[in-house]
Amino acid sequence: MKRKLISAIGIAGMMVSIAACGGEGDGGSDKGADAKELTVWLTVDAQNNWPELVKAADAAVQKKHPGLKINHEYYGWPDKNAKLDAVLATDKAPDVVEMGNTEMLGYMVKGAFAPLDQAKFDNSDAWLDGLKASVTYEDKTYGVPYYAGGRVANWRKDVAASVGVKSAPKTYKGLTAALDKIQKKQGDKFSAWYQPTRDWYAAMSFVYDAGGAIATESGGQWKASLSSPESLKGLKEFKNVVDSYMHGDKTKDESDRYIVYGQGKSSMIFAAAWEGATAEDPKNDKTGKLKGNLENFVMPGPSGKNMPVFLGGSDLAVPVKSDAQALAAEWINAFAGSSGQKGLMAKGNLPNNKTDLATLKNDPKTAVPATAAESNWFVPMAPGWGQVEKAQILQTMLQSIGTGKKSVEAAAKEADAAIDKVINTK
């Protein structure tokens, strides 16, 4: 569930001191425990897909606090952060706000969110690693994971069967052997694996599978590591995939991948779990053959283990300027705690914790995304990471590699230099 880091991640003019605003004691705040009003900002995902879960959280908190008024505002992802930045510069901040997990870091660095006592939230000792990382900065917790979305492989069973492959591969060697057969049969105008070159979420999965990393931290300082032997190994295998199986435009990103997939120009994607189902929707399926013919499977990695996947999702945070921090934390736990997670799973989301995730592995309908999510990675939690994303350093590197403009080594070295200039900058 990709959330692009908005350029306003450095909140203009807002250098808030968390210590001066309360909540510095045990990592939580009793501020506003007797507040009479609560304002909750969520995205339209909650409004459209699980409004009953919002109402249930309201009811649970209002039962404990009779007379409490709870206001809800809903925003689309593209405009949410601009509105949030504007209101954080005033004294009318919301009490709860939903954030994409890659959006959290810049706001934590700037002191926009209040620290929370992790122990007060259900299943916090079992939060998924990638989601826990997204709400943690300098050993403090500034948010609560809400729900997750992972990445899986998805392919056309009919195309695989046409070359004698009747089941999804369990190993990377088995996968590439099947794709080689498909590519040979379909010809060079077909992409056996449609893998957009600028898709850094997929490319970095190869890097982490090989034991590499985007950047590493030592002594409080971050340093880019795309030129390490391990990272280069992963990048070279990603290039091999693009060279061997991707016969579309090698300057594109993944934003319209499900549309291309629906056009019948490829037999496989490595994508967010929802993309296959969206491709087979009648309005996107231009072949008329995809419904019931697509299969999700856990992406095997070249290492011999399951491919580590970027774990996207949403978090819930309490702005440091909130006058109802204690009640905000109660509402978050009512919404994203144990009962809320059951409701979110029923809607097709991955839960925020390993305990609930394990139950999904026993259901054939959810076993693939649940298993895939167990091996995950997240972006470096460095103060300047927002500037890395804003500058699209990884996408530029990958396009240079995929188009052959630069060698893997040269492109990685250039990306490392660009990352190192900004990654430690607050």
* Residues 321-373: tens digit of each pLDDT: 999 999 999 999 999 999 999 999 988 889 999 999 999 998 888 899 999 99
Mean pLDDT of the region 37-54? 95
Residue 383: closest CA among 341, 345, 426: 426
| pLDDT of 390 above 50 | yes
Read off the pLDDT of each residue in 60-79 and give the average, rounded to a whole number.
94
Which residues neighbour 194 within 8 Å (Cβ) at sequence distance 6 or greater? 245, 246, 248, 257, 260, 261, 265, 266, 268, 269
Q: How confident is the model at residue 102 (pLDDT cuts 50, 70, 90)?
A: confident
Question: How high is the pLDDT of residue 26?
Answer: 37
The mean pLDDT of 200-207, rounded to a whole number, is 98
What is the arithmetic mean of pLDDT over 81-91? 91
Distant-in-sequence, close-in-space partners of 332: CB < 8 Å, separation ≥ 6: 96, 121, 144, 316, 318
What is the per-residue pLDDT for 348? 81
Q: What percent of the chain has pLDDT over 90?
A: 82
Q: What is the pLDDT of residue 29?
A: 61
Q: Parallel, antiparallel, or unpaired: how do β-strands 309-310 and 376-377 relate? A: parallel
- Region 254-278 average pLDDT: 94
pLDDT score, position 30? 74
Predicted confidence band of residue 31 (pLDDT cuts 50, 70, 90): confident
- pLDDT of 382 > 50? The answer is yes
pLDDT of res. 409: 98
Q: What is the mean pLDDT of residues 390-397?
A: 96
The pLDDT-based confidence of 28 (bands split at 50, 70, 90) is low
- Structure confidence at residue 426 as a pLDDT band (50, 70, 90): confident
> In Å, how far from its chain's centre is CA 141?
18
> What's the whole-number mean pLDDT along residues 376-400?
94
175 closest CA partner among 291, 354, 297, 13: 297
Q: For 18-27, 187-196, 278-287, 402-411, which range has the lowest pLDDT when averaged over its residues?
A: 18-27
Which range is least confidently modeled, 4-18, 211-225, 234-248, 289-303?
A: 4-18
- Quick one: how far is CA 219 from the chain centroid? 27
| Nearest-angstrom CA–CA distance, 326 and 35 | 9
| pLDDT of 9 over the 90 cut | no
d(Cα 11, Cα 31) in Å, to the nearest integer? 24
Backbone φ, ψ for residue 37 (5° rounding): -145, 145
3-state DSSP assignment of residue 29: coil
Q: Given this model, what pLDDT does residue 358 score?
A: 93
Does pLDDT of 398 surpass 90?
yes
| Percent of the chain whose predicted confidence (pLDDT) is above 70 | 93
Q: Is the pLDDT of residue 12 over 80?
A: no
Cα dihedral 258→274→78→337 (10° resolution): -170
- Top pLDDT among 22 and 136 is at 136
pLDDT band for position 4 (50/70/90)? very low
Averaged confidence pLDDT in the chain:
91
Between 390 and 72, residue with greater pLDDT: 72
User: Who wins on pLDDT, 242 or 103?
Assistant: 242
Residue 5 has a pLDDT of 35
User: What CA–CA distance (Å, rounded) separates 389 from 102?
Assistant: 10
Q: What is the model's pLDDT at position 13?
A: 38
Q: Residues with Cβ < 8 Å from 78, sequence gap 6 or more? A: none
Torsion of CA 117, 121, 126, 132, to 10 degrees: -50
Would the pLDDT of 186 be above 90?
A: yes
Which residue type, as a one-letter code, is found at position 55? K
What is the mean predicted confidence (pLDDT) over 50-79?
95
> What band does 150 get if pLDDT is binned at 50, 70 and 90?
confident
**Can you give the pLDDT at residue 79?**
84
- HSE, side-chain direction, 13 A CA sphere, residue 157: 13
Q: Are the C-beta atoms of residues 267 and 182 closer than 8 Å to each other?
A: yes
Please tell me the predicted confidence (pLDDT) of residue 16.
37
Q: Look at 9-18, 59-68, 305-314, 397-406 and tell me which has the smallest mean pLDDT.
A: 9-18
pLDDT-based confidence at residue 17 (cuts at 50, 70, 90): very low
How far is 164 from 257, CA to CA, in rounded Å?
26
Residue 195 binned pLDDT confidence (cut-offs 50, 70, 90)? very high
